[in-house]
Amino acid sequence: MPKIASISTYKPPYTLEQSNIEQLTKELFKDKIAQLERLLKVFENGDIDTRHFCVPLEWHQTEHTFEERNDLYIELATKYSVEAIQACLQNSFFLQNTIRPDEIDAIIFVSSTGISTPSIDARVMNHLPFSDRMKRIPIWGLGCAGGAAGISRAFDYCKAHPTEKVLVVCVELCSLTFQPNDFSKSNLIGASLFADGVACVLVCGDEVDMESKVSTPHIIDTASKWMPDSENVMGWDIKNNGLHVVFSKSIPSIISSWLGPFIDEFLTEQRLTKEQLDHFVAHPGGKKVLEAYENTLQLKQDQTEISREVLRNHGNMSSPTVLYVLEQFMLKENNKNDIGLLVALGPGFCGEAVLLNWGD
């Protein structure tokens, strides 16, 4: 079974209190949205205390073109990716020995908050001494499902190439997509929820000779699920001034009716039940999303506590968020045969599930 050998996350430079973001949003949307005071309660009721951004709060007080936003995305996504990759390959908590960039055989780059051709991974290769034979697999457009999907595709790759090492890099700079002149409810909810984040994971094939300092999870199997005719559940409307968030209020109810059967089917295929799961590594899409997970999968609140903590301290960072949750599980002392399920949902509408085992 391919193994998650190391992981790192990166905190963007500007840490903002939720109350300060609410105040700026109130100033920008004053007299523009009916019943604004009532709607602003999403900031207070979302169980988010702080979020981290690549730009200061005052950056949003002036107009910025799509070109300006995207140029900044390319610059910072490249810079942050380099730092996250270095931290992952040099993570002495997990790795007995540092991994050199030229030992990496493939890189899966995941993002949905900016556009770049060549993709960011090609730009990163000019800053780190990777092999010029390294395989590049950029993935765009999976939004919140991207982190779990990246792990799934790394699993597929390592099953085919058991002697090789793969990096999964997720970068989302959601703050650069905020639209101060979009007065839709979706934009207001997005302003209360989304943040910036970066994560990097090292996945190794079965035949990679690598000594770990602590027990880290192996990937048993993965599963994907797609819902027909659901393009309007979440995603982007791409307009002249940039990316406008699409965020349906039906997401919690979709999770309640759709996710449970998907997970039950996947676990049945693995001859497991929900009761046998020791860890639930959930993408915290929001407070209501976590409650929907608990209800449909009959989870206790302590099983989603790490996800709640990541949401509280970081907000929803789209694709890397579930990897922030995974990192916290990996930093804990886990029993050798613990079973975990990593789950994330995203545009499509789609779901990704990854079954993990901390044993050998």
* CA–CA distance, 171 with 325 (Å, rounded to integer): 15
> How do 279-282 and 339-346 pair as beta strands?
parallel
Which 3 state secondary structure label does DSSP give 17?
Answer: strand
Nearest-CA neighbor of 205 among 163, 151, 160? Answer: 163
Token pair belonging to 290: 């976590």
* DSSP labels, 194-211: B-EEEEEEEEE-TT----
Q: Which amino acid is at 303?
A: Q
Asked if 140 and 111 touch (Cβ cutoff 8 Å), the reply is yes
What are the catalytic residues? 144
Which helix H or strand E contains 29, and what residues bound it? helix 18-29
Nearest-CA neighbor of 204 among 149, 249, 262, 159? Answer: 159
Asked if 326 and 334 touch (Cβ cutoff 8 Å), the reply is no
Nearest-CA neighbor of 123 among 138, 113, 112? Answer: 138
